[in-house]
Structure formats: structure tokens, C-alpha cells
Structure 1
Amino acid sequence: MKKLITLYILCLFVPVLQAQESKHEKIKALKVAFITEKLALTTEEAESFWPIYNSYDDTMHKLKYEEMGKIKRTLKETPLESLSETRAKKMYQEWLSLENHMCSNRRNMLTQLEAVLPYSKIMMLQRAEWEFHRKLIDQLRNEKRKGKERKK
């Protein structure tokens, strides 16, 4: 009976997990197209750039959404008045460590890019990332507004 219940629960969550993964993949594809257009990479630059950037991006995704997500979930699930100073300190240290790891990952990617791109394109990458995130947030806000308007 336990196996049947476990199987049933898995069947419920697999489509949700697949939807989340496909959403991430769609966003990633849009980001690749956006950055490619903004940076106007040559063939040689693209061949060197994308492996470096994809490795960086995959690591950042894991750190932000998996590792940092654990801390966020714990904070949401734990009533603040019951959070002990010892537990808070441990969570703080984990958070600080993740922040340092994300900075280190970014610094490492930029250092690697110095060998394959001119500095002007590295700076255009920063701008392209900002613009992409801004457009993504704006699009999500518009979709949320449209959803609220449909409910009225």
C-alpha cells in the first residue's frame, strides 16, 4: 500500500517538475538568443564564449534556486519567534557562503572571458544580462496583470 501511495504522489509531481524544467529551458533559450544578438559574437568568439557562459549559468542556477531555495524554504516554514540564535547563525553562515560562491563563480567566468572576448563585449554582456532580466520581469508583471484582468 505504501508503494502505491508513493507511486501516486510521484505521478502527481512529475508533470509539475517537468513544467518547471521546461519553463527554465525556455527562459534559457530566450536568454541565449538575446545575448547572442546583443553581443554580435563572431563564430570564433561564440565557440569560446558559450561553454564558459553556460557553465557559469548552470552553476548560478543551482546555487540560486536549489541551494538558496533551501534556506528560503526553511525561513518561510519556521516561525521567526521559534528560530533559535544557533539555528539562525548556521543559516546565516550558509547564506554567506553561497553569496561568496556566487561572487567567486562570476569572477571566475569574467576572468575566463578576458582571454576570449574584448573588454567591450564583456561589458556589453553585463548590459545584456541587465536588459534581459528587466524584460523578463516586465513580461511577468504584464502576464500577472492580464491574469487579474481576466478574473474581473
Structure 2
Amino acid sequence: MNHLLRNTLVLLFLLAGTIQVHAQTPDQRQERMSRIENAKIAFLTDKLSLTQEQAQRFWPIYNEFTDKRKDLGQRQRQLRSTNVESLNDQQIRDLIKQNLTLRQNEVNLEKEYYDKFQKVLSVRQTGQLLVAEREFTREILQRLGGGRRGGTPAPAGAAN
């Protein structure tokens, strides 16, 4: 399947799953997240031009990486949600240090996993991974943003 057709199918798949977040039940949210995850797999597989052998080796590593990255992100969001106004100066210093430590942990995680990715992917594919992740996230945010405002998401082939 050529890249344009595959990308179009992925985007159509995403459009079909665009539902307002506040109207969803937990089961609907889980189903939507599953569809997004499946679309991400298809999108990244296509963008990186993974062979079947590469895909079998890449996805377990990538899933482990994203799980660890999500954990760090949740911990960072918890810190950011702390009401600084209610803290004394020492607590604020500690909070800042914790945040910097988590950010450093995130950088260290990326270094560790990009080394692991290069054992499975070419250097070019590893570089393309960063770009493809951003592209996918941008597409999702555009689709979700269109749905939240009550507008209709742009057609799959529409220019940005």
C-alpha cells in the first residue's frame, strides 16, 4: 500500500473516532484510546517504513519507552498542579529541584532508548521517529481540537 493511501486511511480512521470528550463513558474513552494507539502504530510503521522484522523488534522497545515516558509525564503534571502559593520557600526549592530531576530523567530516558532503537532501526529511521511522533501528535490535537469546539475536523486530504 503506498504511503499516501495508508496515511489517508489512518487519518480517516482518526476522523471516525472524533467524539466530544465530555460525552464519553469510561468504556468509550478506552475504546477511543485504543483506536488512537492503533492509528499511531500504523502511522509510525508507515512513516518509518518498518520491515516486518523491524516492527517485531521495535514495538516492544517503543511500548516500554512510552510507558516510562508517560510515568515521568504524570509525575511532572502532579508537580505542576501543586499550589505554590501554599508552600514555604524551602518547599518551593524542593519542588523546583524535583521538577528539574524529572526533566533530566526524561532526557536520560530518551538517550537510553534512542540507543536501543538504533539496534533495531537505521539512524535515519531513528531520526524520523522524532518527526513522526510530532506529526502524529499534531494530527491528533487538530482532530480533537476541532471536535471540542463543535467544529467539523478538516477532511483527511486538507492542507494545514
Tell me the TM-score normalised to structure 1 length. Answer: 0.74
Match of 2:78 in 1: 70
- CA RMSD of superposed structures (Å): 2.1
Percent of aligned pairs with the same amino acid: 28
Match of 2:60 in 1: 51
In the alignment, the residues of structure 1 paired with residue 27 and residue 91 of structure 2 have an alpha-carbon distance, to the nearest angstrom, of 33
Q: Is 1:126–2:113 an aligned residue pair?
A: no
Selected match of 2:111 from 99, 107, 111: 107
* Number of equivalenced pairs: 128
Deviations 1:82-138 (A, max 9, x none): 331111111111111110111111111100111111111111111111101111111
What does 1:12-91 correspond to in 2, within 5 Å? 23-65=32-74, 67-74=75-82, 78=83, 80-91=84-95
Q: 1:46 to 1:101 in 2, by over 3 A?
A: same
Counterpart AA for 2:64: S
- Larger relative helix fraction: 1
Query: What are structure 2's unaligned runs of at least 5 residues?
Result: 1-23, 152-160
Tell me the TM-score normalised to structure 2 length. Answer: 0.70
Query: What are structure 1's unaligned runs of at least 5 residues?
Result: 1-14, 148-152
In the alignment, the residues of structure 2 paired with residue 102 and residue 137 of structure 1 have an alpha-carbon distance, to the nearest angstrom, of 22
In the alignment, the residues of structure 1 paired with residue 29 and residue 96 of structure 2 have an alpha-carbon distance, to the nearest angstrom, of 28
In the alignment, the residues of structure 2 paired with residue 141 and residue 37 of structure 1 have an alpha-carbon distance, to the nearest angstrom, of 24
